[in-house]
Amino acid sequence: MLRYLKLYKPYDVLCQFTDTAERSTLKDYVDLPGVYSVGRLDRDSEGLLLLTNDGSLAHELTDPRYAHPRTYWVQVEGVPTEDALTDLRKGVRLNDGLTLPTEVLRLPEEPNLPPRSVPVRFRKTVPTSWIELTLREGRNRQVRRMTAAVGFPTLRLVRAFIGPITLESLQSGQWQDLSPNELKSLRASIRTNRTRRGPRR
State the CATH number of the domain containing residue 32.
Answer: 3.30.70.580
On whether both 39 and 88 belong to a single domain, the answer is no
Specify the number of domains making up the chain: 2
Q: What is the pLDDT of residue 196?
A: 60
**167: three-class secondary structure by DSSP:** coil
Please answer whether residues 53 and 2 qualify as being in contact, where contact means their C-beta atoms are separated by less than 8 angstroms: yes
**76: three-class secondary structure by DSSP:** strand
Residue range(s) defining the domain that contains residue 60? 4-64+163-197
The percent of residues above 70 in pLDDT, for the chain, comes to 97
The rounded distance, in Å, linking the Cα atoms of 135 and 142 is: 9
On the 0-12 / 13-18 / 19+ scale of CB atoms within 10 A, 54 is middle
12 given a catalytic annotation: no
Mean of pLDDT values over 62-66: 83
On whether both 84 and 27 belong to a single domain, the answer is no
On whether both 21 and 45 belong to a single domain, the answer is yes
pLDDT, tens digit, for every residue of 102-135?
A: 999 999 999 999 999 888 888 888 899 999 999 9
Positive or negative CA dihedral for 55, 66, 193, 70? positive
Please answer whether residues 131 and 151 qualify as being in contact, where contact means their C-beta atoms are separated by less than 8 angstroms: no
On whether both 19 and 60 belong to a single domain, the answer is yes
User: pLDDT band for position 66 (50/70/90)?
Assistant: confident
Beta bridge pairs of residue 46: 158
Catalytic residue among 19, 31, 42, 83: 42
185 pLDDT exceeds 50? yes
DSSP state of 146: H
Largest CA distance in the chain: 54
On whether both 125 and 186 belong to a single domain, the answer is no
pLDDT, tens digit, for every residue of 22-55?
A: 999 999 999 999 999 998 999 999 999 999 999 9
On whether both 77 and 156 belong to a single domain, the answer is yes
Report the run of H or E that residue 144 belongs to, with start and end: helix 142-149
The rounded distance, in Å, linking the Cα atoms of 84 and 92 is: 10
Direct distance between the N- and C-terminal alpha carbons of the chain, in angstroms, rounded to an integer: 31
On whether both 157 and 92 belong to a single domain, the answer is yes
User: pLDDT band for position 138 (50/70/90)?
Assistant: confident
On whether both 46 and 20 belong to a single domain, the answer is yes
